[in-house]
């Protein structure tokens, strides 16, 4: 944006980033509270700098500064928030693979049979490719959901803790009359040491009931995710075209920077997070 004549408040942007990064590692239920606290504070500081700098920085500069931090950090935080949920180590692939399958199908079909250009923002993308991307995401959602529906997670620790904790444990599932998923941990002598209801078990049961085989929901969500993913890709392309740059950085030769690789995922992450957040509350 500096190349276009704007003056983003870089120090504030970097400070904002440092304050927003911890959102990705806090507990899920505090995510919105932190966002609601930090963002108004950043707006206030930015506008204060604009006032005391005698309008060296105008409202557009403040807006660009805030947008840069939110676009790159806050959106990524929903990846961590999804990962922190029960079953999160598996649910996060709905975000990553949902966006990537859309990109892969759109690229392959668009390359071979794409004839109708979709937008001048990204001339290489075709309408045929965009439609194929939707089908790719829907297919992934259905197949992946069926796989998870037939897996037994009772032998795992809660996946919402840390990735290193997702290892088989010495445990059994006690079948009760109401099938409440009571997990009993055994000691070295095979005696019951303690018993608890696994969060992953409860989440898995809710997903089996409300999500995995709900094909209308999976199809609608797959369509929505693919469309949003492609909008995220076009949005990033629009930013680059406006600023007259090809890539956001040269970190990965031939692939641009990290933002070039994750531009579609940024928009998908909040959608998937809120879908599973609602399911958890069911």
Q: What is the pLDDT of residue 128?
A: 86
- DSSP letters, the chain, are -GGGT----HHHHHHHHHHHGGGGGS-GGGHHHHHHHHHHHHHHHHHHHHHHTTTSS-HHHHHHHHHHHIIIIIHHHHHHHHHTSTTHHHHHHHHHHHHHHHHHHHHHHHHHH--SB--TTSTT-BHHHHHHHHHHHHHHHHHHHHHHHT---TTB--TTS-GGG-SB-SEEEE--TT---EEEEE-TTS-EEEEEE-HHHHHHHHHHHHTTT-HHHHHHHHHHHHHHHHHHHHHHHHHHHHTT-S-S-SSBTTTB-HHHHHHHHHHHHHHHHHHHHHHHH-
Q: Percent of the chain having pLDDT more than 90? A: 22
Whether 133 and 230 have beta carbons less than 8 Å apart is answered as yes
Whether 211 and 142 have beta carbons less than 8 Å apart is answered as no
Give phi and psi for 121, each to the nearest 5.
Answer: -65, -40
Which residue, 195, 166, 201, is CA-closest to 181?
201
Q: Measured at the alpha carbon of residue 239, what is the angle toward residues 25 and 122, in degrees to the nearest 5?
A: 115
Q: What is the pLDDT of residue 36?
A: 67
Lowest-confidence region among 120-129, 138-147, 240-249: 120-129
Confidence check: pLDDT of 220 > 80:
yes
Confidence check: pLDDT of 73 > 70:
yes
Whether 166 and 157 have beta carbons less than 8 Å apart is answered as yes
The arithmetic mean of pLDDT across residues 210-226, rounded, is 94
Task: Enumerate the domain spans of the chain.
Answer: 1-84, 87-150+198-282
**pLDDT tens digits, one per residue of 129-164:** 888 999 999 999 999 999 999 887 655 555 554 433
The arithmetic mean of pLDDT across residues 29-45, rounded, is 74
């Amino acid at each position: 944006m500096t190349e276009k004549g704007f003056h983003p408040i870089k120090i504030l942007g970097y400070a904002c980033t440092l304050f927003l990064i911890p959102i990705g590692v806090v507990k899920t239920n505090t995510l919105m509270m932190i966002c609601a606290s930090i963002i108004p504070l950043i707006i206030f500081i930015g506008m204060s700098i604009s006032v005391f700098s005698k309008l060296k920085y105008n409202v557009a500069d403040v807006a660009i500064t805030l947008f840069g931090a939110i676009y790159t950090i806050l959106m990524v935080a929903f990846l961590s928030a999804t990962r922190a949920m029960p079953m999160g180590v598996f649910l996060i692939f709905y975000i990553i693979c949902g966006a990537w399958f859309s990109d892969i199908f759109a690229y392959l079909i668009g390359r071979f049979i794409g004839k109708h250009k979709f937008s001048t923002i990204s001339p290489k993308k075709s309408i045929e490719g965009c439609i194929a991307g939707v089908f790719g995401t829907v297919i992934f959602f259905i197949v992946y959901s069926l796989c998870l529906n037939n897996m037994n997670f009772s032998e795992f620790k809660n996946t919402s803790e840390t990735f290193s904790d997702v290892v088989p444990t010495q445990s059994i599932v006690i079948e009760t009359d109401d099938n409440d998923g009571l997990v009993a941990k055994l000691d070295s002598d095979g005696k019951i040491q303690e018993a608890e209801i696994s969060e992953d078990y409860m989440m898995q049961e809710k997903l089996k009931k409300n999500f995995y085989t709900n094909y209308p929901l999976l199809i609608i969500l797959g369509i929505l995710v693919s469309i949003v993913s492609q909008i995220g890709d076009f949005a990033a392309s629009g930013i680059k075209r406006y600023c007259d740059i090809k890539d956001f950085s040269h970190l990965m030769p031939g692939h641009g920077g990290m933002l070039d690789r994750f531009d579609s995922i940024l928009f998908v992450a909040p959608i998937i997070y809120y879908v599973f957040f609602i399911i958890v509350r069911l």
